[in-house]
């Protein structure tokens, strides 16, 4: 004690770091989502679309897109003083799916972005996380020009299990993306707690 004031400093808390994947089809907004919320300059591995890729890349609905992620996007966001998320955006095209297994190692959970104009493009991501038991949330990216459907209609179209959260978002808006990420963490924690519960007879 010096002059009646405590000299004790606030104890430093090392934050818990969690890995979250951002998956979905080609052109659904994964790079945009990571960039909108990252507190650091996001790492991007985008390359321009080439003539050689035109027969492979389906540009229906995203005709204005001229780049693609070839490895991953990476960003970071601090949700609380003691909780930091590392975001890894997966490449969308089929020919880069071999990278998903590497990116998925150690992931707490995932966001599967969906576009109602090309809803079938997110089936692969849903199937991937279901098969590997990785908790995930489906986030419908509400593009300005896309039709809006009730959440129950989208859920039925995707044939989602009842416990899988489905949320609407705007991947360009930081607060909207933060809500999605909080939802992923909460869902993953809930699923983890359920898996630890003893089986009842």
Cα–Cα distance, 69 to 75 (Å, whole number): 14
Quick check: is 37 in a domain?
Answer: yes
Cα–Cα distance, 130 to 27 (Å, whole number): 22
Quick check: is 11 in a domain?
Answer: no
What is the domain extent for residue 151?
16-195
Give the mean pLDDT per block of 10 residues along the chain (201 residues). Answer: 52 87 92 95 66 50 51 88 94 72 94 96 94 97 93 96 96 97 96 80 52
pLDDT score for 197: 77
Bridge pairing between strands 16-24 and 83-89: parallel
Host H or E run for residue 30 = helix 30-37
Quick check: is 4 in a domain?
Answer: no
Quick check: is 7 in a domain?
Answer: no
- pTM, rounded to two decimals: 0.79
Quick check: is 5 in a domain?
Answer: no
| Total structural domains within the chain | 1
Order across the sheet with 166-169: list the strands. Answer: 73-80, 83-89, 16-24, 109-114, 136-141, 166-169
Please, are residues 102 and 130 in contact by the beta-carbon 8 Å criterion?
A: no
pLDDT score for 201: 52
pLDDT score for 104: 93
- What's the CATH number where 77 sits? 3.40.50.300
Residues 105, 53, 26, 109: what is their CA dihedral angle, to the nearest 10 degrees? 0
Quick check: is 9 in a domain?
Answer: no
Quick check: is 79 in a domain?
Answer: yes
Exposure on the CB side of residue 108, measured as CA atoms within 13 A: 22
Cα–Cα distance, 182 to 190 (Å, whole number): 12
Quick check: is 149 in a domain?
Answer: yes
């Amino acid at each position: 004690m010096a002059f009646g004031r405590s000299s004790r400093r606030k104890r430093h808390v090392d934050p818990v770091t969690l890995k979250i994947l951002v998956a979905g089809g080609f052109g659904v907004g994964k790079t945009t989502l990571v960039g909108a919320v990252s507190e650091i300059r996001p790492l991007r591995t985008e390359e321009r679309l080439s003539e050689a890729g035109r027969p492979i890349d389906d540009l229906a609905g995203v005709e204005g897109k001229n780049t693609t992620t070839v490895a991953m996007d990476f960003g970071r966001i601090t949700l609380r003083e003691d909780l930091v998320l590392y975001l890894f955006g997966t490449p969308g095209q089929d020919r880069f799916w071999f990278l998903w297994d590497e990116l998925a190692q150690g992931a707490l959970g995932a966001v599967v972005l969906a576009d109602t104009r090309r809803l079938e493009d997110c089936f692969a991501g849903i199937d991937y996380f279901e098969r590997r038991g990785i908790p995930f949330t489906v986030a419908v990216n509400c593009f300005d020009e896309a039709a809006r459907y009730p959440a129950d209609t989208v859920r039925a179209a995707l044939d989602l299990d009842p416990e899988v959260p489905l949320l609407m978002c705007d991947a360009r808006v930081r607060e909207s993306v933060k809500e999605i990420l909080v939802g992923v963490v909460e869902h993953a924690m809930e699923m983890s707690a359920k898996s630890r519960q003893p089986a009842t007879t």
